[in-house]
Amino acid sequence: MKIGTRGSALALTQTRQIAARLQGQYPEMHLEIVVIKTSGDIQKDVPLAKIGGKGLFIKEIEEALLAGTVDLAVHSMKDLPAELPEGLQIAAVPRREDPRDVLISGICREFDNLPAGARIGTGSLRRSVQLRDWRPDLEIVPLRGNLDTRIRKVAQAALDGVVVAAAGIRRMGWAEKVTQFIPTEKMLPAVGQGVLCLETREEDEDLKAGLAFLEDKRTRREVTAERAFLRRLGGGCTLPVAAFAEQRGDVLTIRGMVGSLNERTMIRQEIHGSVEQAVDLGTELAERLLDGGGRILLEHLEDGQP
């Protein structure tokens, strides 16, 4: 079986971890990891929002799936647009890793103790708008590249810190580099952050059945709510957007955020309900945010306004 993935160190690590679990479950299976360069990997110096945002790190991999070049794709769920191409499916959703964002700083342990005007690197509008709401004095420095590249920029670009996803740091075994795990109450993660997506062709039902041992039902419910939220906002929305769902017992709580492109406006809401209502809860949360000012932000986006 051929597994398609990006060529970044993190993507390869994640894919190898999934391959190891597959090999453990099916010792006789021959596995081959196929590295596919994506649009997001090629255009490293351009802000994601300007070149299409979500989908840039998976488009070519999905094309390989549809063409039969690979049989299975391993993605970070947060890279996945709300709508999948016809003929593809999310075959399995493994258990979620840490969904939080983290600060990596050479001068300070936590955000509240950063000096006034501290320079913080991130390539994420979602992070930027929440950082500006938390600490309006910070200088946000646009930053892209692989995870290790962004971490090195703390020294190379004279930054006071960078903000990256905890999941990638943990999967790479770099937790000792973290100076603060940022609470989700302070910074909501991206839709699907910390979750891997195992994508296959819809016709490959036997393969989907074979991947069932990797499925985590709780994570599936949570990410289903988050993706329903994203879908209602417009799927490939290029506004700063965040959502995080948590299941506790039979209750599912989802918190969401939408911001403006100029990073001056941020709207947050949360909703609770039954775990069986994941899609409805995500959709209703998006409706509340739209009614609370998000619709105006989307209209400004369509009109080319910040």
Catalytic residues: 79
- Integer Cα distance of 221 and 22 in angstroms: 23
Alpha carbon distances (Å) from 235 to 92, 127, 172, 226: 21, 19, 29, 11
Q: What is the DSSP letter of 23?
A: H
Contact 166, 185 (CB under 8 A): no
Contact 199, 89 (CB under 8 A): yes
Picking from 241, 239, 238, the residue whose alpha carbon sits closest to that of residue 282 is: 241
Alpha carbon distances (Å) from 201 to 12, 103, 198, 249: 21, 38, 10, 33
